[in-house]
C-alpha cells in the first residue's frame, strides 16, 4: 500500500470517528478530542522541527545547482531566466486569484474554533495584516541565527540566498566541500521526515478526529473546497501557458496545442514529469522542430529544476488556511509569499511530494502570516490533484523550451 493511500485511510477513519462521536454525544466528543489531539500536535511538531535546516540547506544547494547549470552556456542561462519568470508569473497569478476563489465560499466560524483547538502549535505565527514598511524592514535579518530560532522563514531564506550566491564566488575546492555538507544536511533531514511520515496515518487520524469531533462536516467540506480551488488554478495556469508560448515563444496554437497532447497524456496517466520526458523530446523535435541542442539541454533541465505548479500549490495552501481562519491577508504578505514560493520551489524540485510538503508549504504560510497547523490535515488530500499538477508542469516545460528555441533562433539569424 502506498504512503498516500495509508494517509488517506487515516483521514477517512479519523473523520468517520469524529463525526460519529459528534452525532452520538457532543460533550463526549470534545473530551475524546482533547485526549487525542496531543498526539496529532506531537506529530506536527516532529514535522516542523526539520523545516529550518532542510529549507536552508535546499536553498543553498539549489542556488549552486542553478549557478552550475547557468555556467554551462547561453542556452542554459536563457532556460534559467525563462524558468524563474514563468514560475514568478504562476505564483503571482495564484496569489491574485486564490483569495478571490476562496471568498466565493462562506466561512464558518466553528471551523476556525475547531482548528485553533486541535492543530494549534507553538510555531503558529501571529496573524494579521502587515504593512509594506514592516514587511520590507523584515526581509533582511539582523541576526540570521535568531531568525532560524524564531522560524522566521522569509529572512532566513534571504540569508540562505546571500550565503548560496556568496558560495559561488569562493575557491572551487572549498565550495564543493560546503555544498556537499549542506547536501548531507538536506539528505539527513529527508530521512528524518520519512520516519515522521511513516506514522503520518496516526497523526492525521488524531488531527482529523479532533477537528471533526468539534466542527462536524465543516472540516471535510473545507478540504473539498481546498482541492477544488487547487484544481481550478492548476487548470487556469496550464491554459495560461498557451498565450506565453504564442507571445513569448513565437508559436501558433494550431501547431503548439497538438504537440502538447502526447506528453500531456503520459503526464496525466503517470503523474510523473520524468516519465513524460521522452514524449516531450519527441514533440519538441518532430512536431515543433526545435533545435536538438535546445531540446537536449532545456527539457532535462526543466524536469530537474522547474515545476510550474509547485509555487502555485504553496500559495494556494496558505490562502486556504487564511480563508479557514477568516484572516484578511494584506498585499505585502501575499507578494512576499509568492516570491518565497518561487525560491523554495527551485530548491525542492527533486524531493518526493510527501517529503517536501511541510518543508515547502510551511515557509510560505509563515511568510503570509497564517497558522501552519492545518498543513498536517492538508497533507492527506494534497496528492489528489497530482494528475492536473503534472499536466501543468509538462505544459510549462514545453512552453519554456519554445521560448529558449525562439531566442536561440534569433541569435543564429543575427550571426
pLDDT > 70: percent of the chain:
92
Q: Express each pLDDT in 42-85 by its tens digit.
A: 888 888 888 889 889 988 988 888 777 776 678 888 999 999 99
pTM of the model: 0.85
Q: Which domains does the chain have, with CATH numbers?
A: 3-414 (1.10.3860)
pLDDT of the residue at 127: 42
Dump pLDDT digits (tens) for 141-194: 888 888 888 777 888 888 999 999 999 999 989 999 999 999 999 899 989 988
Could you report the per-residue pLDDT of 89-141, keeping only the tens digit for each? Answer: 999 999 999 999 999 998 878 788 777 766 665 444 444 445 566 666 777 88
Residue-level pLDDT at 180: 95
Share of the chain above pLDDT 90, in %: 39
Is the per-residue pLDDT at 26 higher than 90?
no
Evaluate if residue 268 carries a pLDDT over 60. yes
| CA distances in angstroms from 304 to 83, 194, 299, 346, 352, listed in the order given | 11, 21, 9, 9, 12
Residue 210 predicted with pLDDT over 60:
yes
pLDDT at 126: 42
pLDDT confidence of 238, banded at 50, 70, 90? very high
Contact partners, residue 2, CB within 8 Å, separation at least 6: none
Q: Residue 26 has which C-alpha cell?
A: 457532543
Grid cell at residue 57 = 540547506
Query: Per-residue confidence at 243, pLDDT binned at 50, 70, 90?
Result: very high
Residue 208 has pLDDT above 90, yes or no: no
What average pLDDT does this structure show over 28-41?
Answer: 83
| The pLDDT of residue 384 | 84
pLDDT at site 122: 46
Among 204-218, 260-274, 320-334, the minimum mean pLDDT is found in: 204-218
Q: Rounded to an integer, what distance in angstroms lies between the CA atom of residue 173 and that of residue 356?
A: 30
**Per-residue pLDDT at 131:** 54
Confidence class of residue 349 from pLDDT cuts 50, 70 and 90? low
CA contacts within 13 A on the Cβ side of 352:
12
Report whether 337 contacts 368 (CB < 8 A). yes
> Which pLDDT belongs to residue 72?
66
pLDDT tens-digit series, residues 252-264: 999 999 999 999 9
Q: 3-class secondary structure for the chain?
A: CCHHHHHHHHHHHHHHHHHHHHHHCHHHHHHHHHHHHHHHHHHHHHHHCCHHHHHHHHHHHHHHHHHHHHCCCHHHHHHHHHHHHHHHHHHHHHHHHHHHHHHCCCCCHHHHHHHHHHCCCCCCCCCCCCCHHHHHHCCCCCCHHHHHHCCCHHHHHHHHHHHHHHHCCCCHHHHHHHHHHHHHHHHHHHHHHHHHHHCHHHHHHHHHHHHHHHHCCHHHHHHHHHHHHHHHHHHHHHHHHHHHHHHCCCCCHHHHHHHHHHHHHHHHHHCCHHHHHHHHHHHHHHHCCCCHHHHHHHHHHHHHHCCCHHHHHHHHHHHHHHHHHCCCCCHHHHHHHHHHHHHHHHHCCCCCHHHHHHHHHHHHHHHHCCCCCCHHHHCCCCCCCHHHHHHHHHHHHHHHHHHHHHHHHHHHHHC
Mean pLDDT of the chain: 86
Look at residue 133 in the predicted model and tell me its pLDDT: 64
d(CA 52, CA 35) in angstroms, rounded, equals 29
Compute CA distances 240 → 77, 157, 279, 391, 396, whole Å. 23, 29, 21, 13, 9
Cell triple for 366: 509563515
Amino acid at each position: 500500500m502506498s504512503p498516500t493511500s495509508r494517509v488517506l485511510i487515516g483521514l477517512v477513519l479519523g473523520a468517520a470517528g469524529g463525526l460519529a462521536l459528534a452525532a452520538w454525544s457532543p460533550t463526549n466528543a470534545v473530551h475524546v478530542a482533547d485526549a487525542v489531539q496531543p498526539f496529532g500536535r506531537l506529530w506536527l511538531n516532529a514535522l516542523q522541527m526539520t523545516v529550518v535546516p532542510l529549507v536552508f540547506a535546499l536553498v543553498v544547494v539549489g542556488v549552486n545547482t542553478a549557478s552550475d547549470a547557468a555556467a554551462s552556456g547561453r542556452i542554459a542561462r536563457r532556460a534559467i531566466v525563462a524558468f524563474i519568470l514563468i514560475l514568478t508569473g504562476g505564483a503571482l497569478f495564484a496569489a491574485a486569484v486564490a483569495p478571490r476563489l476562496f471568498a466565493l465560499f462562506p466561512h464558518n466560524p466553528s471551523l476556525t474554533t475547531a482548528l485553533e483547538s486541535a492543530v494549534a502549535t507553538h510555531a503558529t505565527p501571529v496573524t494579521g495584516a502587515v504593512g509594506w514598511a514592516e514587511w520590507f524592514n523584515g526581509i533582511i535579518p539582523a541576526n540570521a541565527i535568531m531568525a532560524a530560532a524564531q522560524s522566521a522563514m522569509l529572512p532566513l531564506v534571504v540569508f540562505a540566498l546571500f550565503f548560496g550566491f556568496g558560495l559561488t564566488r569562493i575557491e572551487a575546492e572549498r565550495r564543493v566541500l560546503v555544498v556537499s555538507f549542506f547536501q548531507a544536511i538536506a539528505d539527513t533531514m529527508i530521512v528524518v521526515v520519512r520516519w515522521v511520515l511513516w506514522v503520518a496515518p496516526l497523526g492525521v487520524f488524531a488531527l482529523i478526529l479532533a477537528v471533526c469531533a468539534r466542527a462536524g462536516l465543516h472540516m471535510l467540506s473545507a478540504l473539498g473546497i481546498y482541492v477544488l480551488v487547487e484544481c481550478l488554478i492548476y487548470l487556469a495556469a496550464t491554459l495560461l501557458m498557451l498565450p506565453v508560448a504564442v507571445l513569448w515563444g513565437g508559436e501558433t496554437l494550431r501547431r503548439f496545442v497538438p504537440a502538447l497532447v502526447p506528453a500531456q497524456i503520459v503526464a496525466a496517466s503517470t503523474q510523473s514529469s520524468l516519465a513524460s520526458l521522452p514524449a516531450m523530446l519527441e514533440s519538441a523535435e518532430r512536431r515543433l522542430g526545435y533545435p536538438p541542442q535546445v531540446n537536449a539541454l532545456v527539457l532535462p533541465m526543466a524536469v530537474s529544476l522547474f515545476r510550474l505548479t509547485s509555487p502555485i500549490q504553496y500559495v494556494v495552501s496558505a490562502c486556504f488556511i487564511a480563508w479557514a481562519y477568516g484572516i484578511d491577508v494584506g498585499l505585502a504578505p501575499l507578494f512576499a509569499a509568492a516570491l518565497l514560493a518561487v525560491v523554495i520551489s527551485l530548491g525542492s524540485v527533486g524531493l518526493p511530494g510527501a517529503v517536501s510538503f511541510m518543508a515547502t508549504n510551511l515557509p510560505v504560510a509563515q511568510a503570509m502570516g497564517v497558522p501552519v497547523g492545518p498543513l498536517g490535515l492538508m497533507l492527506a488530500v494534497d496528492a489528489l490533484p497530482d494528475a492536473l499538477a503534472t499536466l501543468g508542469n509538462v505544459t510549462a516545460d514545453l512552453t519554456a523550451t519554445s521560448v529558449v528555441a525562439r531566442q536561440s533562433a534569433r541569435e543564429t539569424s543575427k550571426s
